[in-house]
Chains A and B, each alone.
Chain A
Amino acid sequence: MDLSSINPILLLASLMVAATPILLAAIGELIVERAGVLNLGVEGMMITGAVCGFVVAVSTGSPWLGFIGAAVGGAFLALLFGILTQYLLSNQVATGLALTLFGLGLSALIGQGYIGIKAPSFPDWHIPLLGDIPIIGPIVFQHDPMVYVGLILVAATWWFLHKTQGGLVLRAVGENHDAAHALGYKVTRIRILAIMFGGACAGLGGAYLSLVRVPQWTEGMTAGAGWIALAIVVFAGWKPWRLLLGAYLFGGMTVLQLNLQAAGLAIPVEYLSMSPYIATIVVLVIMSAGRAPRSLGRIFHASR
């Protein structure tokens, strides 16, 4: 084993990249859950986003269009979930699971002819001046644009939830949908919008995997990333900034175990590969201190 082959700067830089797909999916799910809806279909929306993004990017040659396609695909799948849970009043847990199973099948079907193709490259930005700072530059300021989109989304989500009226209404709907309904807010419409936003974000996260991180399409490539995003929302106590911490913690774990694998640590590869999942469980056990939105997962039916 040769631990000196691990470069700490590269490690920290790739941590940000590894955290981004989960961060993107988790920020969407955070909004959904703050609106009082539990969508367990993140994994399904993510993988659908991954395949939609890949197909669009390959056929147009533009990764940017790919990301837009992924967001649309994810939002469309989320809309199915929204119609079922909000208008047909189905059980959210069961519908979320159905969405994941459906998404896995759908993505495999769409992606059939795209296995083994390489995605159009998405060059890293070298941000002038900031990117030239020693150590910090390569870690923080020399990434592809989507890393920064993720960070901006976190900031924007915090700002929206806590500084705007729309955010206040969204939180009210999540805390007590009956009271919000009595105040005249359109509970169902707000939730549908939140669910679609969540789907679009999950789609972006998935596309980040297939277009930047891997960058290829393989069936089932999300490998539980959607579920980890769900776990990180719980870990973060439904607060945007803590989400960042959770995603980086997880990203760090993933990158570290990959580096240890490459360095030839004496632990079998399988045990290293399972470590991110075990870490997620450990983190859930010791740090799920936050309070869930009161109406989370409850069915809203406006009675007269």
Chain B
Amino acid sequence: MITLEKRAGPSKAWALVTPLVAVALTMIVGGILFAALGKNPFETIRTIFLDPLFSEFAWFYRPQLLIKGAPLVLIAIGLSFGFRAGVWNIGAEGQYIMGAICGAAVGLAFHPMESRLIFPLMVLAGAFGGWAWAMIPGVLRVKFGTNEILVSLMLVYVAEQLLASMALGAMRNPEGMGFPGSRNLAQYPSAANLELIKDSGMHWGVVAALIAVIFAYVTLSRHIFGFQVRLAGQSPRAANFAGVNPAGMILICLGISGALAGLAGLFEVAGPAGQISIDFNVGYGFTAIIVAFLGRLHPIGILLAGGLMALTYIGGEIAQSNLGLPGAAIQLLQGMLLFFLLAVDMLTNYRIKFGKGGTV
């Protein structure tokens, strides 16, 4: 007979080990899945997890790692505040889109003027767009008690429609021969989020992600707000007695995650993506949820998890083109990773006891 016994506090050692166990389990079950799809499991796993870093074409893939990882880390850092405090913003994808739309709108409005002030202004607009979009579920939750999970998610679909309407209408490139999509911001020097070091993949979004990691680390471990966030998540009642304002907590957490998601969208639209188009968003907002949990909602953990997730994206693309692995298999692998993580997470909070437990 196996029973679970609650630990007095979460085990630090298991908290560090469980993500690794989850990754290992994902590789094993993923390998079985790949074998079932008629691929060589070892070759596929190696292609996904190692080739982007160590193959002969790694010089091409390593910059991609930063480009894909930055938005994931930026969004996940924002989400981690809310997830710690029990505020579930799962509409980061929508906030990401709105950040891109608002930021691009500023850039496009100034075209073809050249000024050093345009890009900073776009950054502000991007953060504002994401923040404002996240404030909708925030204010509705605070004023009317509406469930923020559902509202933030519904707004993703609204934002996607808005994106389509922008790409086809208001923001369409007047010189684009009628094709959908805006002007290419990457070709407009004042608005472009170009690589800071040539061929490194390092753009302003990567810098912002690193700053966000440091900022979050300091806030969570050294600042009273970080303490309040942790308290609100672990014991809402105790947080109330400690003078934490629940409404303020909800608004701040949603605000931070919205603004960071908006920033991620802006850096993407002004750099790697280049333009507002119908298929601009590729699900970073949802994958960031996995990144946040895989990183144990800890800034350093999120940084590592973001890197790993970016790796699966790039490795997945390589496996797709070289081995003919279907793209959906990678999506499944990512979902599986979160599943296994949640499953083995039990070990941090509970102890497994074999045999009949003693009586109390």
Any B CB within 8 A of the CB of A189: no
Q: Is the CB of B331 within 8 A of A304?
A: no
Q: Is the CB of A288 within 8 A of B146?
A: yes
Contacts of A88 in B (CB 8 A): 342-343, 345-346
Count chain B residues whose beta carbon lies closer than 8 angstroms to a beta carbon of A: 51
Any B CB within 8 A of the CB of A197: no
Q: How many angstroms from the CA of A230 to the CA of B326 in the assembled complex?
A: 31
Q: Is the CB of A223 within 8 A of B151?
A: no
Given A84-B339, A90-B343, decide whether A224 and B153 contact each other with a Cβ distance below 8 A.
Answer: yes
Query: In A78-111, which residues have CB < 8 Å from any B CB?
Result: 80, 84, 88-91, 93-95, 97-99, 101-106, 108-109
Q: How many angstroms from the CA of A1 to the CA of B145 in the assembled complex?
A: 40
Contacts of A301 in B (CB 8 A): 4, 6, 350
Q: How many angstroms from the CA of A287 to the CA of B339 in the assembled complex?
A: 34
Q: How many angstroms from the CA of A285 to the CA of B141 in the assembled complex?
A: 9
Q: Is the CB of B149 within 8 A of A40?
A: yes
Q: Is the CB of B140 within 8 A of A285?
A: yes
Determine which of A104, A112, A280, A286 lies in contact with B331 in the assembled complex, contact meaning CB atoms within 8 Å. A104
Among A90, A112, A270, A286: residue with most chain B CB under 10 A: A270
Chain A 186-206: CB-based contact to B (< 8 A → 1; otherwise 0): 000000000000000000000
Query: In A288-303, which residues have CB < 8 Å from any B CB?
Result: 288, 301, 303
Given A101-B286, A288-B145, A304-B360, decide whether A89 and B4 contact each other with a Cβ distance below 8 A.
Answer: yes
Q: Is the CB of B146 within 8 A of A284?
A: yes
Contacts of B161 in A (CB 8 A): 270-271, 273-274
Given A94-B342, A95-B342, A288-B147, decide whether A270 and B335 contact each other with a Cβ distance below 8 A.
Answer: no
Q: Is the CB of B140 within 8 A of A91?
A: no
Given A231-B150, A288-B147, decide whether A102 and B335 contact each other with a Cβ distance below 8 A.
Answer: yes
Q: B81 to chain A: closest CB distance in Å?
A: 15
Query: In B336-359, which residues have CB < 8 Å from any A CB?
Result: 336, 338-339, 342-343, 345-346, 349-350, 357, 359
Any B CB within 8 A of the CB of A128: no
Q: Is the CB of B4 within 8 A of A304?
A: no
Q: How many angstroms from the CA of A254 to the CA of B342 in the assembled complex?
A: 36
Q: Is the CB of A109 within 8 A of B328?
A: yes
Q: Is the CB of A277 within 8 A of B155?
A: yes
Closest to A286 in B: B144
Q: Is the CB of A224 within 8 A of B144?
A: no
Any B CB within 8 A of the CB of A227: yes
Q: Is the CB of A89 within 8 A of B165?
A: no
Q: Is the CB of B157 within 8 A of A304?
A: no
Closest to A108 in B: B328
Determine which of B147, B332, B343 lies in contact with A84 in the assembled complex, contact meaning CB atoms within 8 Å. B343
Q: Is the CB of A231 within 8 A of B335?
A: no
Any A CB within 8 A of the CB of B96: no
Closest to A219 in B: B328
Chain B 314-344: CB-based contact to A (< 8 A → 1; otherwise 0): 0000000000001111111111101100110
Q: How many angstroms from the CA of A248 to the CA of B334 in the assembled complex?
A: 36
Q: Is the CB of B154 within 8 A of A224?
A: yes
Q: Is the CB of A108 within 8 A of B169?
A: no
Q: How many angstroms from the CA of A230 to the CA of B335 in the assembled complex?
A: 21
Chain A 106-130: CB-based contact to B (< 8 A → 1; otherwise 0): 1011001000000000000000000
Q: Is the CB of A274 within 8 A of B151?
A: no
Top 9 A-B residue pairs of the complex, sorted by shortest distance between their CB atoms: A102-B335, A108-B328, A105-B331, A105-B332, A270-B165, A274-B161, A90-B342, A109-B328, A101-B335
Question: What 20 additional pairs, Cβ within 8 angstroms, besides A101-B338, A109-B331, A281-B136?
Answer: A88-B343, A89-B350, A90-B345, A91-B342, A94-B293, A95-B342, A102-B338, A105-B329, A106-B328, A108-B332, A234-B150, A270-B162, A274-B161, A277-B154, A277-B155, A281-B146, A281-B155, A284-B146, A288-B144, A303-B6
Q: Please name 18 pairs of A and B residues whose Cβ atoms are closer than 8 Å in the assembled complex, sorted by A.
A: A40-B149, A89-B4, A89-B349, A94-B293, A98-B290, A104-B335, A108-B328, A112-B326, A219-B328, A231-B147, A270-B161, A273-B161, A274-B157, A274-B158, A277-B158, A281-B151, A285-B144, A301-B6
